Structure 1
């Protein structure tokens, strides 16, 4: 992930579909927007590539504990991205945004 242009509050990156998952071979683009209060408030994360996933809505919103109720100012950008990658290998069925997936 890296800043999107000159704006350090907007980043973009990709998650490569993990091997052995239904997402294998896919490349999924995401954007992160950091509020002025960061790190005391978490970044907003959104996929711009459509992903059929129980924890990602049709418009790209993500249900990820580390940037919601589990937010802590000590959480690093690396930890957020690792958690995002883990979501592709281990979806969270107990907290689905799209239950029918």
Structure 2
């Protein structure tokens, strides 16, 4: 299976290099390892994240695309669906099948037809539109619900500023 998944990932990387998708860029952390990618998400316009450069790692399992990659922000980001350690928690990255908690329909979860592009588009739309129903960061979710233009907005603005300073390190 390893060879197939490596081939598929190389193909997706080549495709993204040839036809970049607006809103993010992707590459390998180390040219020798096709299973570890670095992505940079540009904060979407007209959101609190606008102007930010958020770096994340995608780590693919050897049986990709049967199972989803893990995604972790390296740049600090304050968001209901991103755990404080940077782990991204959205349906599309959850293992396929039934959700034992009943929150998600199977078709909202990982499907082998997903690509790096569809993952990134989901993450970008998550930034624009947080889901505070099943938060990974409970504090951020609470602030987002109760006072999105107060403390929440201030913390996000701080992350955006920090991400801009780090982008050019």
TM-score range, shorter chain: over 0.9
What are the residue-to-residue correspondences of 1:19-98 with 2, within 5 Å?
A: 19-69=45-95, 70-98=109-137
Structure 1: state its 5+ residue gaps. Answer: none
Find the aligned partners of 2:64 and 2:75 in 1 and give their Cα distance: 25
Extract structure 1 runs of 4+ deviating beyond 3 A.
none
Greater helix proportion: 2
Higher radius of gyration, 1 or 2: 2
Structure 2: state its 5+ residue gaps. Answer: 1-25, 96-108, 141-169
Paired residues in the alignment total: 101
Deviation for aligned residue 1:71: 0.6
Find the aligned partners of 2:134 and 2:36 in 1 and give their Cα distance: 27
Find the aligned partners of 2:62 and 2:71 in 1 and give their Cα distance: 15
Greater strand proportion: 1
Find the aligned partners of 2:45 and 2:62 in 1 and give their Cα distance: 36
Find the aligned partners of 1:4 and 1:27 in 2 and give their Cα distance: 17
Deviation for aligned residue 1:100: 1.8
Find the aligned partners of 2:46 and 2:73 in 1 and give their Cα distance: 21
